[in-house]
Amino acid sequence: MGFLHLEKVHSSNLRSVNLSEFHPDRTSILISGGHHLSVFGIHKYPFEFRRGDVFLSIEPGDRYSYYHRVVPGDDCRKMIGNREGRIVINPVEPVSLPHNVTGMIEFHFTPIVLEPGSTVKIYTVFPVDVGVFLEAADGYDLLDVFTLTKQKYSLYGTPEKGFITRHIEAEVSDTIPGTDRIKEGVMEIAMHNCGQGWVEVSRAVFEQSTMHLFYGSRVSMKAEMDVYSRMMAETRVLERPLEEGMKQSIRLISSRRSLIHEKPSFLMEYGVGDS
Amino acid sequence: MTADVLASEVFGTVTLLDLLIFAISVVITIVIARVVAYYLKKSFCDRIQPAELSNLVKVIQLIILLIGVYLALPTFDINLADMLVIGGTIGIVIAFASQKIVSNFGSGLFLVLERPIKPGDSIQIEDITGTVDEIRILSTIVKTHEGIYVRIPNEKVFTSDITNYVVNVARRFEYIIGIGYHSDADAAIRIIRKLLDDHPFVLKHPSPSVFVDTLADSSVNLRVFIWAPSKVWWSVRTEMLWKIKLALEKEGIEIPYPQRVVSFPRDIRNRGRETYEKI
């Protein structure tokens, strides 16, 4: 019986698995302090994940399965209409909690002064939302989204023509910062000053339809920002991983099968500095 | 030979060439009507309900077709002056009869073009408050907050003052919170600010403001301005007020009832007591 369990758990993660917690017919991932076994990836269910305050399981019933997820301050239970199947858990665009009011994220960071014509590459940290998707015949359907981070929203622009954004106060660095990947991701932003004068940049806004997340040893996004002036810039997230071997996340925007037009970039028309 | 065939009269003075020109004109008109319909559908598919859009397109197609036929008629040697007189008379009669309908139709078109409201918006038109359910060619359907179906003619919608509560992405609301004269206003402001900072939908920018507004009869009034996304402002408004009340009470900040301090001069009080004792 024990051998059967070991097969269900990814071999590279075996060292982190607490075998004493195994149940007979369930794929289990239980994290003890200091280990970094990720919940991200494809899992067969029945399935269970536990790490600190986070608990996620799909228990088999007589005919159906029961999804249960607990994070501090939030508890979600759903019934799934089959006993066996596969789920995908991966980081998703951090714009849908507690309610979906926007598709934008806005970084506020220490001002960076850009020389005309120069390109500066910086790294910053963004909050991660976790999406749980059910595998379907024609793709993936969203089952649940949760987060371990605090949300705060803001307004970029004017109340009449601006955009509601997920507000992120972030530190910037010139090296990749360490992160807890269930909570945070790393965003690389290559800022290019296309204008004729020096520009101080302390804000960057990205639109959900341009966001592509990747995960592996860390969660990441890779972005570009073309700064035209103090008032205008163009941002886009590249569909490229930060490091080799990272997997691309299933996106909320595509799982919802919405008719939202995917724009190649977002034009920041209300400034790149703190107003 | 071909010229003879084309010039041959089919009926009356109408030749085959006349018929051919008429047929080509009608075909071109149909093509134009279809192209216009395609672009109308493409442009308005997100603004008008599909059934309404279909009706609108049919009406416009019919108008284009009638114009095309009218322009092609001279090939049959029909006297357009007579037709204009007859058509004009009929037109006037119809216009008088359908004045309101045409007015509502025109207003509907302008509503679609100007877009002061769209389905799903929370609005107020005169004394009707609710959510726009549908914008039709002749009327706008509003579902009031009590769940009542209200049909408003488009002419009325177009000529009335419209308040759209959600057209802007963010909106501001305010509270006035009275605390006791003996309570610490700075502490109350600190507590309220902390609550506002913790709430995800109290916008970071424009930042909320909390300040002492008035020294009122029974309380020191704090005014709280909050910006929230228009989609969720009502839930934020209802949630935050009670949270503020609970948080202030928990920290011992008094929210007083209306009160009045009555002072009596000492001699008046004594005289009053003497009078009472005599009685």
CB B177 within 8 A of CB B216: no
Q: Residue B72: pLDDT above 90?
A: no
Strand partners, A124: A172, A187
> Parallel, antiparallel, or unpaired for β A199-207 and A233-238?
unpaired
Q: Which residue has the higher pLDDT, B13 or B247?
A: B247
Give the least confident one: A262-266, B108-112, B115-119, B275-279: B275-279
List the single residue in A99, A102, A154 with the smallest CB-CB distance to B205.
Answer: A154
pLDDT of residue A125: 93
Measure in Å the smallest separation between the Cα of B168 and chain A Cα atoms. 5
CB A261 within 8 A of CB A209: yes
- For chain B positions 171-200, those within 8 Å of chain A (CB to CB) are 171-172, 198, 200
Close Cβ partners of A202 (under 8 Å, ≥ 6 residues apart): A108, A109, A110, A111, A112, A272, A273, A274
For the domain B2-97, what is the CATH code? 1.10.287
pLDDT of residue A97: 84
Put simply, the answer to whether A101 touches B231 (Cβ < 8 Å) is: yes
Q: Residue B272: pLDDT above 70?
A: no
Q: How confident is the model at residue B79 (pLDDT cuts 50, 70, 90)?
A: low
Put simply, the answer to whether A159 touches B168 (Cβ < 8 Å) is: yes
CB contact B272 to A (< 8 Å): no
CA-CA distance, A80 to A65, in Å (whole number)? 5
- On whether the B110-164 domain is CATH 2.30.30.60, my answer is yes
pLDDT of residue A123: 94
Q: Which residue has the higher pLDDT, A18 or B95?
A: B95
CA-CA distance, A154 to A62, in Å (whole number)? 46
- Output the DSSP codes for B54-115: HHHHHHHHHHHHHHHHHHHGGGGT--HHHHHHHHHHHHHHHHHHTHHHHHHHHHHHHHHHH-
Measure in Å the smallest separation between the Cα of A258 and chain B Cα atoms. 14
Q: Please state the three-class secondary structure of B239-278 as a single string.
A: HHHHHHHHHHHHCCCCCCCCCCCCCCCHHHHHHHHHHHHH
- Output the DSSP codes for A127-179: E-EEEEEEEETTEEEEEEEEESS---EEEES-TTT-EEEEEEE--EESSPPP-
Q: What is the ipTM of this complex?
A: 0.77
Q: How confident is the model at residue A205 (pLDDT cuts 50, 70, 90)?
A: very high
CB B6 within 8 A of CB B17: yes
CA-CA distance, A161 to A110, in Å (whole number)? 26
Residue A150's closest chain B neighbor by CA? B200
CB contact A151 to B (< 8 Å): yes
Residue indicated by tokens 């000053």: A193
CB contact B60 to A (< 8 Å): no
φ, ψ dihedrals at B93, nearest 5°:
-60, -45
B198 contacts in A (CB within 8 Å)? 150
List the single residue in A98, A99, A163 with the smallest CB-CB distance to B169.
Answer: A163
Q: Which residue has the higher pLDDT, A256 or B249?
A: B249
CB contact A147 to B (< 8 Å): no
Q: Residue A50: pLDDT above 60?
A: yes
pLDDT of residue B80: 66
Helices (H), ranges, B168-210: 185-198
CB B157 within 8 A of CB B104: no
With pLDDT > 90 as the criterion, what percentage of chain A qualifies? Answer: 29
Q: Which CATH architecture has domain B170-250?
A: 2-Layer Sandwich (3.30)
Computed over every residue of chain A, the mean pLDDT equals 80
C-alpha distances out from residue A150 to A179, A269, B208, Å: 16, 27, 18
Closest CA to A200 of A105, A115, A107, A265: A115
Mean pLDDT value across residues B84-101: 77
Helix, strand, coil % over all residues of chain B, rounded to 5:
55, 20, 25
Mean pLDDT value across residues A237-249: 88
Put simply, the answer to whether B201 touches A150 (Cβ < 8 Å) is: no
Please report, for chain B, the start and end positions of each structural domain, with discontinuous segments joined by +.
Answer: 2-97, 110-164, 170-250
Give the least confident one: A45-54, A202-211, B95-104: B95-104
Q: Which residue has the higher pLDDT, B51 or A11?
A: B51
Please report, for chain A, the start and end positions of each structural domain, with discontinuous segments joined by +.
Answer: 3-9+93-129+136-268
CB contact A159 to B (< 8 Å): yes
Amino acid found at A78: K
Locate B177 and state its tokens.
Answer: 């919170």
Mean pLDDT value across residues A210-229: 90
Q: How confident is the model at residue A13 (pLDDT cuts 50, 70, 90)?
A: very low
Q: Residue B242: pLDDT above 80?
A: yes
> Which of the residues B169, B197, B225 would you substitute to probe the A interface, choosing the one with the greatest number of A C-beta atoms within 10 Å?
B169
CA-CA distance, B231 to A96, in Å (whole number)? 13
pTM assigned to the model: 0.71
Measure in Å the smallest separation between the Cα of B202 and chain A Cα atoms. 7
Q: Residue A209: pLDDT above 60?
A: yes
Q: Residue A15: pLDDT above 70?
A: no
Strand partners, B210: B224
Put simply, the answer to whether B200 touches A163 (Cβ < 8 Å) is: no
